[in-house]
C-alpha cells in the first residue's frame, strides 16, 4: 500500500512527465563507503594518507572501514532494489585496480574481481551501473613520483591507461561512464583551500606545500586534457562495440545577485556561475576555451589550450553531468578598481544567506553551506540548458538533516527524515517541471545511498537515505523514510 498519495497532491499534474527510460537511483564514492583500504592488494590513495595524518579529519576518523561496502555490497544492492531504483552511480578506486597507478604498473586482479562481481550483482537485480573512473582518490604512488596532476605530461598517460583497463575489463557490461567527478571541487579543495587531498595551499600555517594562486588552474587543466583523451579513446576504440555513453560530471550551485537591481551584483552572479561551472563546461560543451571573466582576473595564471587541444576537449562529453545542492546570493568582495589578491580562486565574490531584501536562500540543513533552495535549482537547470543544449544527467543532489547524530538503534523521528523528504520533493519536482518545459533531463541520482565517511568531515555529515550505525562491526543499515518517499515519487513521475 502506498504511503504517499501523489494523485491528490500538488504534483498530481506531473504524473508520467519523466521519460520511460529515465534513470534514477543513488550515487556513492569508493573512498566513502568501501572500507578495506589496504585489503586484497589495494594500494594507498591520497585520501588514505590524509585520513591517517593527525589533524586532517574533523572527528579524527579514517575511512579504513567506512561502511564496509567492500564486504557487504550484495546486501547494499538488495537494499537498493527494495528502494525501487533502476540505476546506481558508483566510483572505482584507481589504486584498488592499479595499486601504484602508473601506465606500466601491474593490475590487481582482486580489485578487478570485486568490481566485476558488483556490476554482475547490479545487473542481476535490473539496476543499471553508472561508473565514475575518478572520485578524488589519486594513487599515492603518483603523488610521490611526480605530484600527480601538477605534471600533466606524466599524469595523462597514467590516467588514460587506467581508463583503458576499465573499458577493456568492464565495458561489455557498463554502458554509462563518467571520467571525473567534480574536477573543480577537486582542484580548489585540494590545491587552493587545502582541506582535501593532497593538502596543498599557500596557507603555511596549515600546509607545508602548495601555491593557491596557480596550482588549482593547473590541476583543472590537467583534468580537462586527460578527460578529453579518455573520451576520444573510448569513442574511437570501444564505443562501436560496447555502445556506451561517456562524459564528465561538474559541480555547480546557483548564484543569484545579492541586490537584484544592482548591475554590479548581477555581474557578480554571472561571474560566479562562470568561475564555478563554465570553468569546465565552456571548454567541454561550449566555446572550447575558458570564460573571458576567468581570463580577465587570472591572466597568465590560467593555462591556455593549443588549437589542437581545444578541438580535442570541445564536445568531449555525451551529456552534461550535473552535481548540485543549493543556491547563494553573491556580490563583489573587492570593490571595483582595487586589486584582487592572487589567492582569490572564486571570482572575487562575497556570499550571503539572505539577499538585500532579507529573503533567505532556504531552510538550514545539518551542513553549514547547504540550504534547501529549489528555486535556484530550477534556474540552474534553465541556465545550463540554454547555454549548452546537451542532455542533462543529474548525477548528485541531496542533503543532510539535523538531529541524525544519535545512538543506535535510531528511534522515533530520526528515521522519519522530514527535512530530507521535503528537499527531495522540491528538487525532484523541479526536475519534472523542467522536463515539461522542454529541458532534456535523463537521470537523477540522490546523494547518497548510505550515511558514510564524508571526506574531511569524517562521520559528522549524514547524507544517506539509510542511517548507518558506524559503531557496529557490520555497520548496520536502517532505512530512512526518504527512501520510501523517493521510491513512490519516481513511480508517480516516470512514464509507464
Q: Residue ranges per domain, the chain?
A: 6-493
Handedness of CA 363, 365, 367, 372 (dihedral sign): negative
Model pLDDT, residue 2? 82
Contact indicator for 222, 156 with CB cutoff of 8 Å? yes
Q: How far apart are CA 331 and CA 124, in angstroms?
A: 51
Which residue in 34, 274, 396, 404 is the catalytic one? 396
Grid cell of 397 as nine digits: 543532489
Model pLDDT, residue 188? 98
CATH code for 6-493? 3.20.20.80
From first to last of its 496 residues, what are the pLDDT tens digits of the chain? 589 999 999 999 999 999 999 999 999 999 999 999 999 999 999 999 999 999 999 999 999 999 999 999 999 999 999 999 999 999 999 999 999 999 999 999 999 999 999 999 999 999 999 999 999 999 999 999 999 999 999 999 999 999 999 999 999 999 999 999 999 999 999 999 999 999 999 999 999 999 999 999 999 999 999 999 999 999 999 999 999 999 999 999 999 999 999 999 999 999 999 999 999 999 999 999 999 999 999 999 999 999 999 999 999 999 999 999 999 999 999 998 899 999 999 999 999 999 999 999 999 999 999 999 999 999 999 999 999 999 999 999 999 999 999 999 998 889 999 999 999 999 999 999 999 999 999 999 999 999 999 999 999 999 999 999 999 999 999 999 999 999 999 999 999 9
Closest CA to 230 of 240, 241, 220, 238: 238
Q: Is residue 332 helix, strand or coil?
A: strand
Q: How far apart are CA 178 and CA 325, in angstroms?
A: 19
Contact indicator for 123, 173 with CB cutoff of 8 Å? yes
396 is catalytic: yes
357 is catalytic: no
Max Cα separation, the chain? 64
The answer, yes or no, to whether the previous bond of 214 is cis (omega within 30 of 0) is: no
Model pLDDT, residue 1? 58
Which residue in 34, 143, 182, 430 is the catalytic one? 182
State the residue for C-alpha cell 568492464.
170
Handedness of CA 278, 250, 112, 65 (dihedral sign): positive
pTM of the model: 0.98
Amino acid at each position: 500500500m502506498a504511503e504517499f498519495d501523489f494523485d491528490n497532491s500538488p504534483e498530481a499534474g506531473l504524473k508520467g512527465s519523466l521519460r520511460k527510460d529515465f534513470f534514477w537511483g543513488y550515487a556513492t564514492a569508493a573512498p566513502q563507503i568501501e572500507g578495506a583500504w589496504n585489503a586484497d592488494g589495494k594500494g594507498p590513495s591520497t585520501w588514505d594518507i590524509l585520513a591517517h595524518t593527525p589533524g586532517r579529519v574533523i572527528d579524527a576518523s579514517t575511512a579504513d572501514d567506512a561502511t564496509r561496502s567492500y564486504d557487504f555490497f550484495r546486501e547494499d544492492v538488495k537494499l537498493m532494489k527494495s528502494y525501487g531504483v533502476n540505476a546506481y552511480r558508483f566510483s572505482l578506486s584507481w589504486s584498488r585496480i592499479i595499486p601504484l597507478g602508473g601506465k606500466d604498473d601491474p593490475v590487481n586482479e582482486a580489485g578487478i574481481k570485486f568490481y566485476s562481481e558488483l556490476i554482475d550483482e547490479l545487473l542481476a537485480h535490473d539496476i543499471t551501473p553508472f561508473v565514475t573512473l575518478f572520485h578524488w582518490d589519486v594513487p599515492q604512488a603518483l603523488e610521490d613520483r611526480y605530484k600527480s596532476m601538477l605534471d600533466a605530461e606524466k599524469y595523462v598517460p597514467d590516467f588514460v591507461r587506467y581508463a583503458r583497463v576499465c573499458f577493456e575489463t568492464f565495458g561489455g557490461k557498463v554502458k554509462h561512464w563518467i571520467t571525473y567527478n567534480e574536477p573543480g571541487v577537486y582542484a580548489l579543495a585540494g590545491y587552493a583551500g587545502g582541506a582535501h587531498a593532497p593538502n596543498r595551499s599557500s596557507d603555511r600555517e596549515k600546509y607545508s606545500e602548495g601555491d593557491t594562486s596557480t596550482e588549482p588552474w593547473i590541476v583543472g587543466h590537467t583534468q580537462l586534457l586527460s578527460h578529453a583523451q579518455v573520451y576520444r579513446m573510448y569513442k574511437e576504440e570501444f564505443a562501436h562495440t560496447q555502445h556506451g555513453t561517456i562524459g564528465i560530471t561538474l559541480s555547480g550551485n546557483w548564484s543569484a545577485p545579492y541586490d537584484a537591481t544592482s548591475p554590479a551584483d548581477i555581474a557578480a552572479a554571472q561571474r560566479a556561475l562562470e568561475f564555478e561551472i563554465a570553468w569546465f563546461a565552456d571548454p567541454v560543451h561550449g566555446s572550447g576555451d575558458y570564460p573571458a571573466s576567468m581570463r580577465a582576473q587570472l591572466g597568465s595564471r590560467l593555462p591556455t589550450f593549443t588549437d589542437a587541444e581545444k578541438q580535442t576537449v570541445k564536445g568531449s562529453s555525451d551529456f552534461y553531468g550535473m552535481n548540485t545542492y543549493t543556491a547563494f546570493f553573491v556580490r563583489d568582495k573587492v570593490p571595483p578598481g582595487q586589486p584582487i589578491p592572487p589567492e582569490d580562486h572564486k571570482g572575487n565574490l562575497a556570499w550571503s544567506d539572505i539577499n538585500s531584501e532579507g529573503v533567505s536562500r532556504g531552510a538550514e540543513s545539518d551542513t553549514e553551506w547547504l540550504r534547501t533552495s529549489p528555486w535556484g535549482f530550477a534556474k540552474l537547470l534553465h541556465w545550463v540548458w540554454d547555454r549548452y543544449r546537451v542532455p542533462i544527467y543529474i548525477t548528485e543532489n541531496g542533503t543532510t538533516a539535523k538531529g541524525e547524530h544519535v545512538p543506535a538503534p535510531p528511534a522515533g523521528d530520526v528515521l522519519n527524515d522530514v527535512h530530507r523528504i521535503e528537499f527531495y520533493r522540491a528538487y525532484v519536482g523541479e526536475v519534472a517541471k523542467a522536463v515539461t518545459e522542454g529541458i532534456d533531463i535523463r537521470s537523477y541520482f540522490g546523494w547518497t545511498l548510505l550515511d558514510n565517511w564524508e571526506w574531511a568531515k569524517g562521520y559528522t555529515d549524514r547524507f544517506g537515505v539509510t542511517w548507518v550505525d558506524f559503531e557496529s562491526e557490520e555497520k548496520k543499515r536502517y532505512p530512512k523514510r526518504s527512501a520510501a518517499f523517493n521510491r513512490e515519487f519516481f513511480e508517480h513521475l516516470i512514464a509507464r
